[in-house]
Amino acid sequence: MKKESSIHTARKMVWTTRFRKGVTGMHLGVNLLLMVALWAMVNFIGMRQYIREDWSRQQLTRLSPRTESVMAQVKEPMKIILLMSQDFRAGDTLEDLLKEYRQVNQRVLVEKVDPDRDIGETEDLRARFAVSQPDQLIVSYQGRHLVVPLERMLVMETDEERELGRDPRLVGFRGEQVITSAVLELTRTERPVVYFLTGHGEKEIDNFENVPQGYSSVRERLEADHLNLKTLNLEETQRVPEDADLLVIAGPRTRISQPEIDLLRAYMMTVGRLLVLVDAQEDAGLAPFLKEFGIQLSPDVVVDPSRTLGGPDLHVTRYAQHRITDSMQSIRSIFIRPRSVLPAAQEGAAADRPQYTALAASTDQGWANLEPNQEPVTFDEGVDIPGAIPIAAAMEWQLSGENRGGCKRLVVFGDSLFPGNLLNNGGGMLLMQNAVNWLLQQEDLLEIAPKDVNEIRLQLNRKELNQLLLWVAVALPGVVLAFGLVISLRRRG
């Protein structure tokens, strides 16, 4: 009986143990299933409810609210083809930026083609879009397309800033501005018309040479902003065309006749969108006309010893708070012998006077030299005007009568070389571009500024490179191996 009792007890213990193991295993299995289900639920919700944040220091790929607003207008599929070689300076940044465009609007399809590897696709793109060179961005929308060179996205170090004997560094990335401009050009149905006045030695938008008169770079940049540029000779037309959304007078060298001034005055009283670039020691007869609209021109040259490289150049990196210059802070613009652009005395009630804003000026160490040909240039107390002298200004005032509710805008620069082919200065071009967009009340791109790029260069000679290799490939792995051997011997002991 005892033997049977012992056998029964042993069997009971075995079954009890098996039951406990089964319950434990089942409990573990249920927990695993719950964990998997919880993981799947969290990921399912996270794929649909998430927050994207850019924690990088430079935030080169973070899109501005203005770009998000522009991309919201894309209602049909848009294809962006990146024909880019592997040695493009900002290739990784550009690819990350295009991913952000895709995230903002799922109708955007991005395709990358390597011209060195994807030979067949590259030939197809050349046949379809007439692409003759690599490193191009192709944007296609509603049967239309636009080809943009990738080099427009790069802001390179100027000759004055780069070290002697070294290649220019990449100091800025304006990919967002270029891509959003292309999207705007394809999604908008109307193109504002900008007329450049001719007949008085003005800058030539069809001149591609690196000469003072060359303004082809200005034309290229403004056309990228979906603008239609034309030339206008008032002596021939005897009127300002009705489709003129903006009139530009860029560096006239001879006097503008009184009948033409009358036409300009009538244009300002109606449309009221004028951009004037005047050079020192050039009397184009515009001083009385501009004084009527609140701008005082003087026969001077603005000098600033603290903001020059020793020549006729004046460098500006600080600007007034204005829609034209909000995206310009710390971006260098170079002016050549600029003249002052001061506010003129205005009559009438203060409410009717135009609002004057000095966009750019010299520092407090500068002055307006009333003897432009003086050598050497010195400050003559009692003659010259000391202090921060404005060299660019914006005017704005409300229209009255039938046009009440609108506004007139005028921008005057005391130099016409800063955005041209001769200087090829990125800051000057951006300033010109922003001024045109503000005058047209086309402010979609004013908030999109180039992103500063801080390249870190590690300059090592052969000896330093060998030392670095010794530390990385020998010393550090050797230390880890030594620790492992010590711990292993201690455990065995």
Task: Tell me the whole-structure pTM to 2 decimals.
Answer: 0.71
Judgement on whether residues 178 and 212 belong to the same structural domain of the protein: no
Domain that holds residue 486: 460-493
454 domain residue, yes or no = no
pLDDT digits (tens, 9 = 90+) for 18-65: 777 777 778 888 888 888 888 888 888 777 766 667 777 777 788 887
450 domain residue, yes or no = no
Judgement on whether residues 109 and 23 belong to the same structural domain of the protein: no
Judgement on whether residues 45 and 61 belong to the same structural domain of the protein: no
455 domain residue, yes or no = no
65 domain residue, yes or no = yes
Which pLDDT value is given to residue 60? 77
Say which CATH number the domain at 297 has.
Answer: 3.40.50
172 domain residue, yes or no = yes
Judgement on whether residues 146 and 174 belong to the same structural domain of the protein: yes
Which pLDDT value is given to residue 404? 43
Judgement on whether residues 64 and 3 belong to the same structural domain of the protein: no
Q: Which two tokens stand for residue 339?
A: 């003249």
- Domain total in the chain: 4
477 domain residue, yes or no = yes
13 domain residue, yes or no = yes
Judgement on whether residues 227 and 309 belong to the same structural domain of the protein: yes
- Which of 35-39, 70-74, 158-162, 246-250 comes out lowest in average pLDDT? 158-162
473 domain residue, yes or no = yes
What whole-number distance in Å separates Cα of residue 364 and Cα of residue 367?
8
Judgement on whether residues 258 and 211 belong to the same structural domain of the protein: yes
- Which is more confident, 353 or 392? 392
Judgement on whether residues 416 and 305 belong to the same structural domain of the protein: yes
447: amino acid identity, one letter: E
Which pLDDT value is given to residue 405? 46
Judgement on whether residues 115 and 136 belong to the same structural domain of the protein: yes
Which pLDDT value is given to residue 332? 86
How far is Cα of residue 49 from the mean position of the Cα atoms in its chain? 31
Of the pLDDT bands very low, low, confident and very high (cuts 50, 70, 90), residue 473 is: confident
